[in-house]
């Protein structure tokens, strides 16, 4: 099996699992944990939503001035984790992060509910908030500013694509005899291996 076929197989397998998870009635089947590190190597993790996936990578959107955005500006490495409990399936992804094109971000922005667009303007994400009223006042201000017009995408709000160099599938088995299958990139070549649970 050639290297492109291995990677394609991993993406197709993820896509099939994700489609299956979307049929289960989960509140957020697209929820994934995103791990980043700061300039000192201190890790942080939070939940974001997968918005696109293909052979180019895994896409999420955020305020680029947020904590994760600041960390990704310094260190372009990130890790993702999906866990769909009803399926007892987990997928781990590690890779390098790149910015999505402005045209891609604009296209996704146009699909967002207006309330979410205004919220992106109102939130100075990850900064200290004095009180809830401050956020609500900011929201009201942008609601007035953009009354009766389309809400433009802020320049500091965009997407990231995690380009994988590791994709690992974990499947639960009785007696903790779990199955782990790892697709990983070494010197430009995709490899496959089973991993001890």
Distance CA 123, CA 111 (A): 19
> Which residues are registered as beta bridge partners of 43?
37
Alpha helix locations (H) across 41-186? 67-74, 102-109, 114-122, 132-145
Residue 1 has pLDDT above 50, yes or no: no
Asked if residue 40 lies in contact with residue 73, where contact means CB atoms within 8 angstroms, the answer is: no
Considering the candidates 112, 161, 176, 180, report the single residue annotated as catalytic: 176
Residue 2 has pLDDT above 80, yes or no: no
Active site residue 138: no
Q: How many CB atoms lie within 10 A of CB 13?
A: 15
User: Can you give the pTM of this predicted structure?
Assistant: 0.93
Q: What is the pLDDT of residues 104-130, one digit of tens each?
A: 999 999 999 999 999 999 999 988 999
Classified as helix, coil or strand, 175 is: helix
Q: What is the pLDDT of residues 74-91, one digit of tens each?
A: 999 999 999 999 999 999
State residue 119 phi and psi, 5-degree precision: -60, -35
Q: How many CB atoms lie within 10 A of CB 80?
A: 21
> Could you tell me how many helices (H) and strands (E) the chain has, helices first?
5, 9
Alpha helix locations (H) across the chain? 3-21, 67-74, 102-109, 114-122, 132-145
With cut-offs at 50, 70 and 90, classify the pLDDT of residue 95: very high
State residue 40 phi and psi, 5-degree precision: -95, 5
Helix, strand, coil share (%) of the chain residues, nearest 5: 30, 35, 30
Mean pLDDT within 160-179:
97
Q: What is the pLDDT of residue 3?
A: 66
CA distances from 45 to 10, 145, 166 (A): 24, 34, 18
């Amino acid at each position: 099996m050639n290297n492109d076929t291995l990677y394609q197989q991993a993406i197709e397998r993820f896509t099939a699992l994700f489609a299956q998870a979307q049929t289960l009635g989960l509140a957020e089947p697209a929820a994934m944990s995103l791990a980043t590190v700061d300039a000192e190597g201190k890790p942080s993790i939070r939940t974001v939503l997968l918005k696109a996936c293909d052979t180019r990578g895994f896409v999420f959107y955020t305020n680029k001035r947020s904590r994760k955005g600041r960390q990704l500006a310094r260190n372009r490495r990130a890790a993702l984790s999906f866990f769909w409990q009803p399926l007892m399936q987990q997928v781990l992804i590690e890779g390098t992060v790149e910015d999505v094109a402005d045209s891609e971000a604009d296209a996704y922005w146009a699909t967002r509910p207006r309330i979410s667009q205004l919220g992106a303007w109102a939130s100075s994400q990850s900064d200290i908030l004095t009180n809830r009223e401050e956020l609500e006042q900011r929201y009201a201000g942008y609601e007035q500013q953009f009354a009766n017009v389309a809400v433009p995408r802020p320049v500091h709000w965009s997407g990231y694509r995690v380009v994988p160099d590791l994709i690992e599938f974990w499947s639960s088995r009785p007696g903790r005899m779990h199955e782990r299958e790892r697709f990983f990139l070494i010197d430009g070549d995709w490899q496959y291996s089973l991993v001890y649970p």
